[in-house]
Amino acid sequence: MWSLFKVAFRNVGRNKRRSLITITTIFIGVVVICGVRGLLNGLQDEIRSGLARKIHGDVQLHKTGYRNSIDTSPYKIMFSYDAALQAKLRDYPMIKDVAPRLRLVGLLNHQRTQSTLPVMIQGFDSRHELVVCPRAADSVVQGRMLDSAQERQAVALAENDLAEATFLDAPGGEPSPSVKNTTGYHQALLSADLFKGLGAALGDEVVVLLNDKNNMQQALIATVTGVVDFALPTAEAKILWLDYHTLQNSLALHDEVSELALAITPDTSADAAVADLQAMLGKDLVAETYLELSGFLKDVMTIQNGIFNVIIIIVFAIVISAIVNTSLMTVMERIREIGTLMALGYRRRHILFLFLAESALIGVIGALTGLAVAGTVLGGLSMVGIDVTLPGQQVATVLYPRVPPGFLLFVMVLAIGSALAAAFVPAYRASLMRPVDALNKS
Amino acid sequence: MKNLGCLLLLMVSLQAQAESAEDIVKGVEKSLSPGDFIVTYELVNRRLDGTIVAYEVDFQIKDIDHAHGIFQKPEREKGREVLRVHDALWTYMPDVGRAIRIADRDSFAGGDFSNADIMRPDWTAHYKAQMAKETPKQWIIDMIAGDTEAAYAKMRLWVDRETHMPMQQHFFDSSGTLLKQCRYGAITRYDTLQRPARLHMENVLTGQATDMRILRLSAGQKFSDARFSVDNLGK
pLDDT tens, residue order, chain A (442 aa):
777 778 788 888 888 888 898 899 899 999 999 999 999 999 888 888 888 888 889 999 999 888 777 777 888 889 999 999 999 898 888 899 999 999 999 999 888 887 888 999 999 999 999 999 998 888 899 999 999 999 987 677 778 888 889 998 888 777 777 776 766 789 999 999 899 999 999 999 898 888 888 777 788 889 999 999 887 766 568 899 999 999 998 888 889 999 999 999 988 888 899 999 998 888 889 999 988 888 777 888 889 999 999 998 998 888 888 888 888 888 888 888 888 888 888 888 888 888 888 888 999 999 999 999 999 999 999 899 888 887 766 677 788 999 999 999 999 998 899 888 888 888 888 888 888 887 876 5
pLDDT of A213 reads 80
Q: Do residues B91 and B106 make contact, with C-beta atoms less than 8 angstroms apart?
A: no
Tell me, yes or no, whether A221 and A348 share the same domain.
no
State the Cα–Cα distance between residues B79 and A239, nearest whole angstrom.
39
Tell me, yes or no, whether A253 and A138 share the same domain.
yes
Tell me, yes or no, whether A364 and A399 share the same domain.
yes
Q: Is A203 left (phi over 0), alpha (psi -120 to 50) or beta?
A: left
Tell me, yes or no, whether A321 and A216 share the same domain.
no
* Amino acid in position A289: T
Q: Which residues of chain B have pLDDT under 50?
A: 1, 4, 6-18
B186 touches chain A (CB under 8 A): yes
Does A111 sit within 8 Å of B206, measured CB to CB?
yes
pLDDT of A37 reads 92
CB-CB: which of B132, B135, B206 is closest to A114?
Answer: B206
Structural domain includes residue A90: yes
Residues on chain A touching B138 (C-beta within 8 angstroms)? 164-165
Structural domain includes residue A170: no
Residue in chain B closest to A221 (alpha carbons) equals: B205
pLDDT of B87 reads 81
Tell me, yes or no, whether A260 and A367 share the same domain.
no
Strands (E) across chain B are located at 37-46, 52-63, 66-73, 81-85, 88-93, 98-102, 127-134, 138-145, 154-160, 166-172, 178-190, 193-203, 209-219
Cis before A391? omega within 30: no
CB-CB: which of B167, B187, B200 is closest to A165?
Answer: B167
Does A209 sit within 8 Å of B205, measured CB to CB?
yes
Pick from A45, A396, A100, A71: nearest CA to A230? A396
State the Cα–Cα distance between residues A238 and A35, nearest whole angstrom.
37
Q: How far is B192 from chain A (nearest CA, A)?
A: 21
Tell me, yes or no, whether A222 and A321 share the same domain.
no
Residue at a domain's end among A257, A282, A307: A282
Does A164 sit within 8 Å of B135, measured CB to CB?
yes
Q: Which residues neighbour B81 within 8 Å (Cβ) at sequence distance 6 or greater? A: B68, B69, B70, B71, B91, B92, B233, B234
Residue in chain B closest to A155 (alpha carbons) equals: B176
Does B202 sit within 8 Å of A176, measured CB to CB?
yes
Structural domain includes residue A56: no
> Angle, to 10 degrees, between the axis of helix A16-49 and the axis of helix A405-431?
150
Tell me, yes or no, whether A25 and A75 share the same domain.
no
Residues on chain B touching A176 (C-beta within 8 angstroms)? 181, 183, 200, 202
**Domains contained in chain A, number:** 2
Structural domain includes residue A234: yes
Residues on chain B touching A249 (C-beta within 8 angstroms)? 175
Tell me, yes or no, whether A86 and A38 share the same domain.
no
Say if the ipTM goes beyond 0.90.
no
Domain range enclosing A8:
2-50+299-440
Q: Domains plus CATH for chain B?
A: 21-232 (2.50.20.10)
Query: Exposed (0-12), middle (13-18) or buried (19+): which is A279, by Cβ within 10 Å?
Result: exposed
pLDDT of B16 reads 43
Task: Give the sign of the dihedral formed by CA A269, CA A275, CA A277, CA A278.
Answer: positive
Tell me, yes or no, whether A195 and A335 share the same domain.
no
B185 touches chain A (CB under 8 A): yes
Structural domain includes residue A241: yes
Residue in chain A closest to B154 (alpha carbons) equals: A159
Tell me, yes or no, whether A362 and A234 share the same domain.
no
Tell me, yes or no, whether A106 and A199 share the same domain.
yes
Tell me, yes or no, whether A361 and A390 share the same domain.
yes
Residue at a domain's end among A255, A282, A309: A282
Residue at a domain's end among A233, A255, A282: A282
